[in-house]
Amino acid sequence: MAIKEIETEKNNSVLRQKAKKVKHINSKIKEIVLDMTETMKSNDIIAGLAAPQLGHSLQIIVIRFDYNKGYITLINPQITKNFRKKTVMEENCMSVPGISVLIERYHKIIIEALDIEGRPIRIKAKGILARIIQHEIDHLNGILITDYK
Ligand SMILES: [Zn+2]
């Protein structure tokens, strides 16, 4: 595993692509997840990271929402339910350095994904966690915070 440089909008078109679904969770995928986790550890400020930010066009996100609970890997994540309420908050992104954008997002969502062992998981998220996951899923769709300006 290795700490990787986070891609920024200027130097990488992968950030603008729709990421591919992960078909097999093999050693290559596990290594990408380890790289993502290591890269997050070295950039203490970030709460989530999407594979396209490290140059991989794959539907993988890693989330750290609770410092005590460590990292959660979500493979092929899908929002399966949005609750109606929305909130507005300022967001930053490592791939768009130096910019903050006010973004309206769902307060509460349900996400279905696979974990690193390929087991299906379902998460009900609200507040900051729901916001982080929506931000990272945007990355899998080639959407950046500047698109909300
Ligand atoms: Zn981001």
- Residue 68 predicted with pLDDT over 70: no
In a domain, 15, yes or no: yes
pLDDT at 15: 95
Name the active-site residue from 7, 90, 104, 136.
136
**Helix (H, G, I), strand (E, B), or coil: what is residue 97?**
coil
Side chain identity at residue 120, one-letter code: P
Q: Could you tell me if 113 and 75 are in contact, meaning their C-beta atoms sit under 8 angstroms apart?
A: yes
CATH code of the domain containing 15: 3.90.45.10
State pTM to two decimals.
0.93
144 CA from centroid of ligand 1 (Å):
7
The count of domains in the chain is 1
Q: Is 38 a known active-site residue?
A: no
Give pLDDT tens digits for 83-125: 999 999 999 999 999 999 999 999 999 999 999 999 999 999 9
Q: How far is CA 111 from CA 44, 49, 86, 134, 146, in A?
A: 25, 16, 16, 10, 24
> Is residue 26 one of the residues assigned to a domain?
yes
Q: Residue 4 domain-assigned?
A: no
- Rounded CA-CA distance 62/48 in Å is 6
Distance 52 CA to ligand 1 centre (A): 10
Query: Which residue range(s) make up the domain with 21?
Result: 9-148
Answer whether residue 3 is part of any domain: no
Whole-number Å distance, alpha carbon 121 to ligand 1 midpoint, is 23
Does 1 reside within a domain? no
What is the Å distance from ligand 1's center to 139 Cα?
Answer: 7
